[in-house]
Amino acid sequence: MSNIQPVFIALQANNDTLPIIEAICSDNPQAQVNEYPAMVKINCPGRMVIRRSSVEERMGRDFDLRELQINLISLAGEVDESEDEFVLFWKA
């Protein structure tokens, strides 16, 4: 049974997060970006992945996914994190 409950991630709107947001949009075609003052909230049905390689490609440098912590505002969904991917998902 496929799951369409939304997960989300909210990041500070700044220069550090521009390439991250771009990477999310290209890796998750269903992602929907909402801009608020100082904040960007990205919703996605069921599952959203942040890929290190995609972020690095856009940033032009090495990126440790734990650096997300610095500009993270909030998230919804269960988290699975490894060196290569940060995944938000619902199981149901």
Partner 1 sequence: MAADGDLKPIKKLSLKENYALLTRGLGWEPTYEKKEEIFRTIDFEGIKIHDWEKWEDPFRLTMDAYWKYQGEKERKLYAIIDAFQQNNGQFNVTDARYVQALKLFLNGIVGLEYASHRGFNILGREFPGVGPRIAAQMQAIDELRHATTQIHAISHYNRFFEGMADFPHQFDRVWYLSIPKSFFEDAVSSGPFEFIVAISFAFEYVLTNLAFMPWMSGAAFNGDMSTVSFGFSAQSDEARHMTLGIEVIKFLLEQDPDNVPLVQKWIDKWFWRGYRLLALLATMMDYMLPKRVMSWSEAWTIYYEENGGALFADLARYGIRPPKYADVTIKEKQRVSHEMWSIFYSVRNAVGFPVWLPSAEEMDWFSEKYPDTFDRYYRPRFEHWRELEEKGTPFTNMTLPQLCQVCQWPCIYTEPDDPTEFVHRETEYQGETFHFCSDGCKDIFCNEPEKYVHAWLPVHQIYQGNCFPEGADPTAPDFNPLVAALQYMGIKPGVDGGLMSQHVDASRWEQWTSRPANLHEGAITQAVRKTT
**By CB neighbour count within 10 A (0-12 exposed, 13-18 middle, 19+ buried), where does 87 fall?**
middle
Rule CB under 8 A: is residue 82 a binding residue for partner 1? yes
- Applying CB under 8 A, the site for partner 1 has a residue count of 31
Task: Please state, in angstroms and rounded to a whole number, the distance separating the CA atoms of residues 39 and 48.
Answer: 18
Rule CB under 8 A: is residue 72 a binding residue for partner 1? yes
Which of 39, 47, 56, 57 forms a contact with partner 1 (CB under 8 A)? 39
Per CB under 8 A, residues contacting partner 1 are 5-8, 10, 12, 36-39, 41, 66-67, 69-83, 90-92
